[in-house]
Amino acid sequence: MFRDISYYKSDLDACMARVRAFFNCDPAAPGALIITFPSVLTLRGPALNQYDFETNPCAYLDDYLEYQAQLMEIRRGIEDDWIPSVVPYMGIGEFSAFVAGEIEFGEGTSWVKPVLQDKSDLDSLLLDPNNKWFTRLNLATRYMVQHIAPHRIPFGRGYYSPLDLAWALRGEAIYTDFYEDPDFVHRLLEFAMTATIWFARSQAAEIFAPEFVHELSAWHCGPNRIALGEDISSLCSPSHYREFGAPYTQQVFDAFGIGEIHCHSAGPHVVPEFLKLKRMRQIQIVADPNTRRPVEILADLISSSPEFFGRSPDVPVVAVDVSPNEAADYYDLSRQTRVVFSVVTETAEEAQHAVRLFRATQAR
């Protein structure tokens, strides 16, 4: 199914050198990186609701790994700054089911209905190592890692932030809880923070089991690094995020040593709050429909709040979704802060064109 990582990335050593220098902020580091994602819009992964996760989860995992291998084959020969890796996907249901609830699978995603219909239900929530989905998700991670580790392919995954996990457990009621019962929200967030650390450490133990570790294993995640999704922040005011989001995400980062945040272009007003967090390695802003382009958001933030940016190891890298032309048109942002341009295209040819355009701009 998979071949050695060098087959997919023939310039792996040069690519790794560029990426390491970029994140270390070495004097000779490139000003920006480009990562391309061809065919993810046209080559669809296996439909989740066609599998029996109760009795035969490996059937889905095998098909999903085959899909990942196909994507790697398509990306072969593209001279961008992407390090081949596998990221698991079972829909958003898995991000909270390890605590409580049953995952419902649709074709392209999954979900869990909120379990805290009554606030008093919080007292009955436990971190149970025998929870069905906690066990299954650890087994799924081990299964995938054991298929890619012999080929030196890293495994990367992220988690809900404490605020996102609290939302998944409580549902939309959390937005009125902010006003009506903030003490309850803080108790829920303390639990969610503890749960996030507990699950992420358990997953790291599977990803970095001694028999799987290789020189590239720790590139995307690790025992000392964690990536969190802050999707719910888009629907919060900056002041609410400062109270209910930032303190708990910060404690997760402190527990692991370094952190990354995934957020959406629907919530540009909260990005300055992310930039205030310590131990932050990277902020990823992905594009939502009917919103401003992530790279435009970044340009405005640099202009309005330059104190948050700079070319220093103490300043987070910002990754933004862009079109091929935007990667070139906005390249000068990299003179003010470190930027990763993420380009989604329908074909590998379009991705290669984006890289050539980017490299030509970079060479000027």
Q: In this predicted model, what pLDDT tens digit does every residue of 258-269 receive, in sequence order?
A: 999 999 999 999
Q: Which three-class secondary structure state does DSSP give residue 85?
A: coil
Mean pLDDT on 293-309: 97
Name the token pair of 331. 């390249």
CATH number for 75: 3.20.20.210
pLDDT of residue 364: 86
222 compared with 113, residue with greater pLDDT: 113
DSSP summary character for residue 291? S
pLDDT of residue 358: 97
Name the token pair of 84. 């081949």
* Residues 316, 314: Cα–Cα separation, whole Å: 7
pLDDT of residue 42: 83
Tell me which residue range forms the domain holding 54: 5-362
In this predicted structure, the answer to whether residue 311 has a pLDDT above a threshold of 80 is: yes
* Residue 346 confidence class, pLDDT cut points 50, 70, 90: very high
pLDDT of residue 219: 79
Number of domains in the chain: 1
Mean pLDDT on 273-283: 96
Residues 6+ apart with CB under 8 A from 61: 140, 143, 144
Handedness of CA 112, 66, 348, 327 (dihedral sign): positive
The pTM assigned to this predicted structure is 0.96
Burial of 44 (0-12, 13-18, 19+ CB in 10 A): exposed
pLDDT of residue 149: 97
pLDDT of residue 259: 96
pLDDT of residue 185: 98
Q: Which three-class secondary structure state does DSSP give residue 318?
A: strand
pLDDT of residue 221: 75
Name the token pair of 338. 């470190």
Lowest mean pLDDT among 213-222, 303-312, 314-323, 347-356: 213-222
* Residues 96, 112: Cα–Cα separation, whole Å: 7
Instruction: Select from 63, 250, 269, 131 the least CA-distant residue to 261.
Output: 250
Average pLDDT value over all residues in the chain: 96
Strands annotated E in 71-224:
103-105, 110-112, 159-160
* Residues 20, 70: Cα–Cα separation, whole Å: 27
* 122-137: pLDDT as tens digits: 999 999 999 999 999 9
221 compared with 283, residue with greater pLDDT: 283
Name the token pair of 313. 């190891």
DSSP summary character for residue 90? S
pLDDT of residue 41: 72
In this predicted structure, the answer to whether residue 99 has a pLDDT above a threshold of 80 is: yes
Please count the other Cβ atoms lying within 10 Å of the Cβ belonging to residue 298.
Answer: 25
Residue with the two structure tokens 């690519």: 15
pLDDT of residue 40: 80
Residues 6+ apart with CB under 8 A from 305: 272, 275
* 201-258: pLDDT as tens digits: 999 999 999 999 998 988 777 789 999 999 999 999 999 999 999 999 999 999 999 9
Single-letter amino acid, residue 98: F
Burial of 12 (0-12, 13-18, 19+ CB in 10 A): middle
* Residue 32 confidence class, pLDDT cut points 50, 70, 90: very high
* Residues 14, 81: Cα–Cα separation, whole Å: 9
Maximum Cα interatomic distance, the chain, rounded to a whole number of Å:
62
pLDDT of residue 69: 97
pLDDT of residue 222: 76
Instruction: Select from 209, 231, 3 the least CA-distant residue to 96.
Output: 231
Q: Are 244 and 236 in contact (CB under 8 A)?
A: yes
